[in-house]
A and B are shown apart, each in its own frame.
Chain A
Amino acid sequence: MTEFPAIKNNACIALSAIPEMDYATFREQNIVLLGAENNHCVTLFGYPCGDSLRLICAIADDRAGAIHVSSSTIIPDGEFSSLSAMRPALHVFERELHENFGVRYSDHPWLKPVRFPQNAFSGVKIPDYPFYRIDSEELHEVGVGPIHAGVIEPGHFRFICNGEQILHLEIQLGYQHRGIEKLFLEKENLLQRTILAENIAGDTVVGHTLAFVNLWESLCGFAAGRDLQFARTLALELERMAIHTGDLGALCTDIGYQLGNAVFGRLRTPIINFLQQWCGNRFAKGLMRAGITNFHFTAELAGKLNDILNAYESDFLEIADKAFHLPTTLARFEKTGIVTTRQASEIGAVGMAARASGLTRDIRASHPFDLYGELEHEPVVKHHGDVYSRVQVRKEEIIQSLAYIRRLLQTIPEVQPVREMNKPRPNAMAISLTEGWRGEICHCAITGDNGRLIHYKVTDPSLHNWLALALAVRNNEISDFPICNKSFNLSYCGHDL
């Protein structure tokens, strides 16, 4: 077996240093690598090189904190054996290759459209999605969406039910497709690209922008000063707290627990209002820029944040203690929407959902970035894989974030002078992993001659995790779908890009 070069998170590698192999070896070696318990695929994509397509696969080794990169150049016209047949976690990446470049797979288990881009090779339009069907007089289908009852994003869910029980759920997305990856190449100005990163998913502004700025700095050989790293770490934990709190409120709404909804809902407000006091936007749009920051974190802000956290903590603990010990709440949350550890591992689940199913998968611990090396993060792991586990992970992560923020606030780093950033390195690939509140975010960029961007790949945690939701609801009652869905709270726009 060839030794794959192992790069660190936020590192840059010359395109010529990525081992190139024929497709059969590429497939086999990556299948073998993914068989190891501590390995998982962070991204698999292709970029055009003339008439051929160069496939790049990045596999993260969570124990060694390294990312193995390998590649294979193929002519997309041919027919290929899929990796998904052996490693189902890769299904969505190969579907993407099929959709975007017409790569045909002879044995892909589920070769369906992903997001219906305008130049899709298959030519299938969004109303003609080929749904899985079961012919039976006993069963019925329920279609939900793309427009849902609440104020949320669009996506279509097709249930096959036996009475009230769900046998199968198929999730069709793509409604939110805005062509972001292409825009990254077309917009040549750094500010425009940063704004694009901020608008990938509005609930994960910090997560995605952080991945982008870290990636860009590594491409340009720029080491961010401690002040920038501090601000990024702090903002990421604040975002985690805010969204987790809002999600707990939304889960209370879905089971009709009004007090929980009102209190968690309003507890989110001071945190996002703090982000506004810091940078002028409740979702931290505008806060992060590659190489610089427009909004320094001051001692005065630290004082305000401390007061906000103190007020938050007692109110949060009080309502969490009440809400998650009520028999009515537990009756709805416990043993609902179970994803087993084995399922989670097979489908390559990431982030909070994976941790609720017993997988210790957290980029903050395994591939630390910014100041996480110093925080020595211990992932919160639960083992039942049900809605309640996902609630508990959120609750405990909020408490953990509180502690991290307080530790960070003890020493506010001095503002460092602005330094010039070089141009991006030519003919190189950079990869950046971030643990957003939902899970692992991967941004990957490839540059050509002159350092011009020739490919940009965004992988939102939702891309890995939508299948987990489909598995979670099997054999549950259809009335439990809303709480299962909310317990994952996956992103539509992060998936559709």
Chain B
Amino acid sequence: MFKTLSILFHQGKQYIPHPTEAEVPGIFRGRPLITKADVDESALAALCPVNAIGKAPVSIDLGKCIFCGECALAFPHKIGFTKDYKIATNERRRLIISAGDDRPVKINPELVRNEIFKYFHGSLKLRQVSAGGDNSCELELNASGNVNFDVGRYGIEFVASPRHADGLVVTGPLTQNMAEALEICYQAVPQPRIVILAGTDAISGGIFADSPALDRSFLDKYPVDLFLSGNPVHPLTFLNGVLELIRTRKS
């Protein structure tokens, strides 16, 4: 008993008080900033291991970027990664950051379905499906619920059964061997339901994009409500992205 109290005393308060404004420690590769400086664009684009860099003007697609940061190291005057972890949106093209663009990545209110705010703004239960995920995104989604990030305080929670869920969070590049299970799980979620893609692997396939072992036809069939960038998704990206989605009302 006394030991337990002593542990509680030593732990103190561990939660992050304002996770929508918190700053991540040290260096972090979040939303990139691309200057208008002149560089050899072909060399820059060729450097990227996942072809996330576009030319004329230079752009980075955060749906493909695996945040290795090699471009910023090779061309420090052209590209820099900021500590802005709010890199979630419901519009796929908004993840493409072009030279000179310093706008925060936000949800497009026009594209938010009415029922999302109506039903989910105070409580959202999610079923996670890993379809080839490497377990780093899964660990970060688990971490979102720990005592530090405590996403449960906003009514966001992972549940075991898709029947209890309001939507799916998909991680991994969507392997062929998981295609059927993912489809069955999606059909088991009652309507209205949402789909969240967590991590670069899920959004574009990441480094695995060319692999014949993938089957991404699920994404052609069903609408996606939220894209969460990252490799893996930082718990603060997840928390802020989902909160913004469920709190946004169509104007």
The segment from B32-40, B62-70, B99-107, B221-229 that touches chain A is: B62-70
Taking a contact as CB atoms under 8 Å apart, the answer to whether A117 and B49 are in contact is no
Which among A147, A153, A278, A283 is the interface contact of B26 at CB below 8 angstroms?
A278
Chain B nearest Cβ from A488, distance in angstroms: 14
Task: Please judge, given known A-B contacts A153-B130, A278-B26, whether A266 and B68 are in contact too, CB under 8 Å.
Answer: no
Q: Is A294 an interface residue (CB 8 A)?
A: yes
The segment from B88-96, B109-117, B168-176, B241-249 that touches chain A is: B168-176
| B167 / chain A contacts, CB cutoff of 8 Å | none
Q: Is A28 an interface residue (CB 8 A)?
A: no
Chain A nearest Cβ from B231, distance in angstroms: 6
Q: CA A176 – CA B208 in complex, angstroms?
A: 12
Taking a contact as CB atoms under 8 Å apart, the answer to whether A151 and B128 are in contact is yes
The segment from A163-171, A178-186, A417-425, A466-474 that touches chain B is: A178-186
Which among A178, A201, A202 is the interface contact of B213 at CB below 8 angstroms?
A178
Q: Is A50 an interface residue (CB 8 A)?
A: no
Taking a contact as CB atoms under 8 Å apart, the answer to whether B10 and A179 are in contact is no
Taking a contact as CB atoms under 8 Å apart, the answer to whether B148 and A266 are in contact is yes
| B210 / chain A contacts, CB cutoff of 8 Å | 183, 186
Q: CA A289 – CA B101 in complex, angstroms?
A: 31
Which among B128, B173, B181, B206 is the interface contact of A175 at CB below 8 angstroms?
B181
Q: CA A28 – CA B8 in complex, angstroms?
A: 60
Most buried by B among A175, A180, A189, A274: A175
Task: Please judge, given known A-B contacts A178-B208, A205-B136, whether A283 and B49 are in contact too, CB under 8 Å.
Answer: no
Taking a contact as CB atoms under 8 Å apart, the answer to whether A151 and B25 are in contact is no
Q: Is A382 an interface residue (CB 8 A)?
A: no
Most buried by B among A174, A183, A192: A183
Q: Is A303 an interface residue (CB 8 A)?
A: no
Most buried by B among A176, A189, A286: A176
Taking a contact as CB atoms under 8 Å apart, the answer to whether A175 and B177 are in contact is yes
Residue of B nearest to A270 (CB): B25
Task: Please judge, given known A-B contacts A176-B177, A315-B11, whether A280 and B26 are in contact too, CB under 8 Å.
Answer: yes
Chain A nearest Cβ from B30, distance in angstroms: 9
Q: Is B211 an interface residue (CB 8 A)?
A: yes
Taking a contact as CB atoms under 8 Å apart, the answer to whether A179 and B3 are in contact is no
Taking a contact as CB atoms under 8 Å apart, the answer to whether A191 and B68 are in contact is yes
Taking a contact as CB atoms under 8 Å apart, the answer to whether A202 and B11 are in contact is no
| A327 / chain B contacts, CB cutoff of 8 Å | none
| B172 / chain A contacts, CB cutoff of 8 Å | 176
Taking a contact as CB atoms under 8 Å apart, the answer to whether B26 and A200 are in contact is no
Task: Please judge, given known A-B contacts A118-B212, A177-B175, A281-B29, whether A263 and B133 are in contact too, CB under 8 Å.
Answer: no
Taking a contact as CB atoms under 8 Å apart, the answer to whether A126 and B66 are in contact is no
A residues 176-233 with Cβ under 8 Å of B? 176-180, 182-183, 186-187, 189, 191-192, 195-196, 199-203, 205
Q: CA A496 – CA B68 in complex, angstroms?
A: 24
Q: CA A265 – CA B178 in complex, angstroms?
A: 29
Taking a contact as CB atoms under 8 Å apart, the answer to whether B7 and A263 are in contact is yes
Q: CA A177 – CA B212 in complex, angstroms?
A: 10
Residue of A nearest to B213 (CB): A179
Taking a contact as CB atoms under 8 Å apart, the answer to whether B136 and A283 are in contact is yes
Which among B70, B158, B177 is the interface contact of A151 at CB below 8 angstroms?
B158
Q: CA A151 – CA B199 in complex, angstroms?
A: 14
Task: Please judge, given known A-B contacts A146-B181, A153-B135, A277-B27, whether A196 and B207 are in contact too, CB under 8 Å.
Answer: yes
Q: CA A274 – CA B25 in complex, angstroms?
A: 8
Taking a contact as CB atoms under 8 Å apart, the answer to whether B132 and A493 are in contact is yes
Taking a contact as CB atoms under 8 Å apart, the answer to whether B160 and A150 are in contact is yes
Taking a contact as CB atoms under 8 Å apart, the answer to whether A117 and B26 are in contact is no
Task: Please judge, given known A-B contacts A199-B134, A203-B136, whether A294 and B177 are in contact too, CB under 8 Å.
Answer: no
Q: Is A279 an interface residue (CB 8 A)?
A: yes
Taking a contact as CB atoms under 8 Å apart, the answer to whether B132 and A178 are in contact is yes
Q: CA A492 – CA B231 in complex, angstroms?
A: 18
Q: CA A491 – CA B138 in complex, angstroms?
A: 12
| B67 / chain A contacts, CB cutoff of 8 Å | 280-281, 285-286
Q: Is B219 an interface residue (CB 8 A)?
A: no
Q: CA A322 – CA B47 in complex, angstroms?
A: 51
Residue of B nearest to A204 (CB): B135
| B213 / chain A contacts, CB cutoff of 8 Å | 117-118, 177-179
Chain A nearest Cβ from B235, distance in angstroms: 9
Beta-carbon contacts of B134-152 to A below 8 Å, as 1s and 0s?
A: 1111111111001110000
Chain A nearest Cβ from B248, distance in angstroms: 25
| B231 / chain A contacts, CB cutoff of 8 Å | 281, 285
Beta-carbon contacts of A234-272 to B below 8 Å, as 1s and 0s?
A: 000000000000100000000000010011011001000
Chain A nearest Cβ from B41, distance in angstroms: 18
Which among B69, B139, B143, B147 is the interface contact of A280 at CB below 8 angstroms?
B69
Q: Is B125 an interface residue (CB 8 A)?
A: no
Taking a contact as CB atoms under 8 Å apart, the answer to whether B211 and A276 are in contact is no
User: Can you give 17 A-B contacts (C-beta < 8 A)?
Assistant: A118-B176, A118-B212, A147-B129, A152-B135, A176-B132, A187-B49, A191-B47, A202-B137, A202-B232, A262-B146, A265-B143, A269-B146, A276-B24, A276-B27, A278-B26, A294-B69, A493-B133
| Leading 6 A-B pairs by shortest Cβ distance | A202-B136, A277-B26, A202-B134, A179-B213, A149-B160, A192-B49
For the complex with contacts A154-B130, A191-B49, 16 further pairs of A-B residues with Cβ separation under 8 Å are A116-B177, A118-B176, A147-B185, A153-B130, A153-B138, A154-B129, A175-B132, A177-B213, A202-B136, A205-B136, A263-B7, A269-B143, A276-B24, A279-B27, A281-B231, A315-B10
Residues of chain B whose beta carbon lies under 8 Å from any beta carbon of chain A: 3-4, 6-8, 10-11, 14, 24-29, 47, 49-50, 66-70, 73, 81, 128-143, 146-148, 158, 160, 172-173, 175-178, 180-181, 185, 201, 206-208, 210-214, 231-232, 234
